[in-house]
Amino acid sequence: MHDHMHRPAANSGASNWKVILQLIPYLAVFKVRVCIALGFLIVAKLANVLVPLVLKYIVDGLDASQQAGHGSELAPVLVVPFLLLLTYGFLRFSTVFFGELRDAVFGRVSEGTLSRIGLRLFRHLHKLDLEFHLSRKTGGLSRDMERGISGISFLLRSIVFSVVPIMIEVLMVVVIMTIYFDFWFSLITLTVVALYVSFSMVVTNWRTEYVRTANIKDSEANTKAIDSLLNYETVKYFNNEEFEATRYLGSLKLREEAKVKNHLSLASLNTGQSLIIAVGVTSVMSLAAYRVTEGEMTLGDLAMVNAYLIQVFIPLNILGFIYREIRRALADVEAMFELMTLAPSIHNKDGAVNLSQGDDGIEFKNVCFAYHDERAILKGVSFRVNPGEKVAIVGPSGAGKSTISRLLFRFYDVNDGAVSVGGVDVRDLTLESLRQAIGVVPQDTVLFNDTIRSNIQYGCPSAALDLLEQATRVAKLDQFIESLPSGYETRVGERGLKISGGEKQRVAIARAILKDARILVFDEATSSLDSRTERAILESLSDLSKRHTTLVIAHRLSTIVDADSIIFLDSGEIKERGTHQELLNKKGAYYHLWQIQQRTDEESRS
């Protein structure tokens, strides 16, 4: 997988509808709220389109009173029905009030939908293979999630709060104009709206490339400037200030050209939109003015037509922006939904069984494995760890030691052969029961940005305090925790706390102990510890190992001298096996590695 998904420059119509259809099941959960929100939306728009109608009667009333009361002492405003003014004010308020009610009701729908999709994606990402997470940068993944969620948020808001209301309003205005006047008013209005929308879509599509190029060139110019300033000393060492300035100027020129084209294309869009609206408004108002002079329409009708044109055409101004942003949002949401369609290759097969409580033995039978076809990691590896035994795997870097623990935990499946736990192929066991039975202390421990207590308790979130403290003592963490002002409640991520690699590994050991798994895997678990702490922990772990089936992957041979069996792995093959003393007596690869490490230890002590 690449760090980022390639987004289509222009989503196809079918692809767009597919994305929108994928959202419907999430919205269906809130179908009652959606219906209520749409009801409030229609009421708000109905109130809005009735305002110009009431305005017509107010103007006609005032006009009639002026004519009838010419020379009279009665103020014209008293002749205007007071109820119409009250209705006008009520409708103005209703437009806002029901719009706010729509927002309040739909707010729960949009936020609830985002929560459901976010949780589903989060669960799905945890189901995907280790290979997926190793090949994808976490930053890129979180950006895809963030962009997808904000894309859905924008789609819901823009469709419910902008696109649908505009469509409803245009439809209502056309119906009212057709009822009150002849079809020419409706025809001109519909033609202008259709021309405006078509023009905005075509020009926005044309502009997309200019916008993208301008953004890319802007980023490139900024990157060059930052890179040059970060390498300030190197620039000075080689007297290359002018060279850097010339390079930066080249980037600025490209950025300038792209930005100018972007501005010109935006000016073309705005000018075209304004021209269409100007021609439309002039045509409709000219027709209305002509009808007034002919006596076919009143001044109130003219005011009503003018108000409707303003109501219809002003919201259209944001359509270009909304269309462009909807296209971007659809691309982001599509990329996120693509993540959801990725199927994990490691999953429970049909008929998978739970690991029984009995036999905990581990067996590798002629296991062959490669991460990539061109390089084999394990070549026909066979060994057995009997229940309650401690078996160590040693060998040089790149021998395939850590791959063995990954295959046992079923982060990957073997290419050939089989890995068994309790006499059952791990592929026939449920992932949950297999992984629950294995406690792993990895070589590289990453702690959550939380308290030390939370990090240890992660091994068993429901564990009682006495078990937590016992695991802490076995991992020789108790004195370190007591020395901290806040003790267990000290936050690992605080700037003031310098938690060393050794302390991190002891937290990982305590966590694995607290899990109380039947099988323990130590993957170079003491590599960051000093010799004294390592010996103390090893004594504690040797007591613990007697009650567990233990697999130790070790670099330092002094840590596994008490193992029931030691396997020397090199280039993916088992070269030697036996107890510590048996392997020393053989005077082979293990013996030579032991000699080298002993000399190194003596030199570091002297």
Judge whether residue 6 has pLDDT over 60: no
pLDDT of residue 97: 94
Judge whether residue 537 has pLDDT over 70: no
Looking at the DSSP assignment, which residues form a beta bridge with residue 569?
574
CA distances from 91 to 56, 69, 190, 216, 325 (A): 14, 29, 25, 48, 32
pLDDT of residue 179: 87
**Two tokens, residue 251:** 């980037």
Confidence category of residue 110, pLDDT binned at 50, 70, 90: confident
Residue with tokens 């802007």: 218
**Rg of the chain over CA atoms, in angstroms?**
37
**Two tokens, residue 156:** 């819901």
Which of the two residues, 222 and 139, has the higher pLDDT score?
Answer: 222
Instruction: Give the mean pLDDT of 525-536.
Output: 66
Q: Cα separation of 350 and 309, whole Å? A: 64
Q: Any idea which of 30-44, 88-102, 483-497 has the lowest mean pLDDT?
A: 483-497
pLDDT of residue 516: 81
Kind and range of the H or E run holding 551: strand 549-553
Q: Which H, E and C letters describe 155-178, residue by residue?
A: HHHHHHHHHHHHHHHHHHHHHHHH
Pairing of β 378-385 and β 438-441: unpaired
What percent of the chain has a predicted confidence (pLDDT) above 90? Answer: 12
Judge whether residue 131 has pLDDT over 80: no
Tell me which residue of 16, 3, 13 sits closest to 329, measured CA to CA: 16
Q: Cα separation of 557 and 564, whole Å? A: 14
Q: Cα separation of 524 and 543, whole Å? A: 18
Q: Cα separation of 143 and 150, whole Å? A: 10
CA distances from 272 to 204, 217, 277, 317 (A): 12, 27, 9, 11
**Alpha-carbon torsion 231, 236, 241, 244, what sign?**
negative
Residue with tokens 């009143």: 298
**Two tokens, residue 594:** 């032991």
pLDDT of residue 369: 92
Judge whether residue 496 has pLDDT over 50: no
pLDDT of residue 381: 92
Judge whether residue 188 has pLDDT over 50: yes
pLDDT of residue 72: 47
Looking at the DSSP assignment, which residues form a beta bridge with residue 466?
none
pLDDT of residue 63: 67
Judge whether residue 230 has pLDDT over 50: yes
Instruction: Give the mean pLDDT of 540-569.
Output: 82
Q: Cα separation of 517 and 408, whole Å? A: 14
Q: Cα separation of 186 and 175, whole Å? A: 8
Tell me the per-residue pLDDT of 140-166, one tens digit each, with 9 for 90 and over: 677 778 888 888 888 888 888 888 888
Amino acid at 493: G
Confidence category of residue 71, pLDDT binned at 50, 70, 90: very low
Tell me which residue of 571, 576, 526, 532 sits closest to 553, measured CA to CA: 526
Judge whether residue 545 has pLDDT over 80: no
Tell me the per-residue pLDDT of 10-45, one tens digit each, with 9 for 90 and over: 455 566 777 888 888 888 888 899 899 989 999 998
According to CATH, what is the number of the domain 355-437+549-606? 3.40.50.300
Tell me the per-residue pLDDT of 504-523, one tens digit each, with 9 for 90 and over: 888 888 888 888 888 888 88
Judge whether residue 498 has pLDDT over 70: no
Tell me the per-residue pLDDT of 299-348, one tens digit each, with 9 for 90 and over: 888 888 888 888 888 888 777 778 878 888 888 888 888 888 888 888 88
DSSP string, 564-603: SEEEEEETTEEEEEE-HHHHHHHTSHHHHHHHHHHHHHHH
215 exposure class (CB count in 10 Å sphere: 0-12, 13-18, 19+) = middle
pLDDT of residue 428: 92
| Average pLDDT across the chain, whole number | 83
Confidence category of residue 578, pLDDT binned at 50, 70, 90: very high
Domain ranges of the chain: 1-181+325-344, 182-296, 355-437+549-606
Tell me the per-residue pLDDT of 247-276, one tens digit each, with 9 for 90 and over: 889 888 988 888 888 889 888 888 998 899
**Two tokens, residue 495:** 């700037």
Q: First vs last Cα of the chain: how many Å apart?
A: 50
Amino acid at 327: R
Residue with tokens 């020009």: 203
Judge whether residue 495 has pLDDT over 50: no
Judge whether residue 64 has pLDDT over 70: no
Q: Which CATH architecture has domain 1-181+325-344?
A: Up-down Bundle (1.20)
Instruction: Return phi, psi of residue 451, to 5°.
Output: -75, 160
Amino acid at 434: L
Tell me which residue of 366, 360, 351 sits closest to 423, measured CA to CA: 360
pLDDT of residue 160: 81
Instruction: Give the mean pLDDT of 446-472.
Output: 87
Amino acid at 551: L
Q: Are 148 and 336 in contact (CB under 8 A)?
A: yes
Instruction: Give the mean pLDDT of 428-437.
Output: 90
Sheet holding 378-385, edge to edge: 378-385, 362-369, 416-421, 424-425
pLDDT of residue 270: 86
Residue 67 makes CB contacts below 8 A (sequence gap 6+) with none
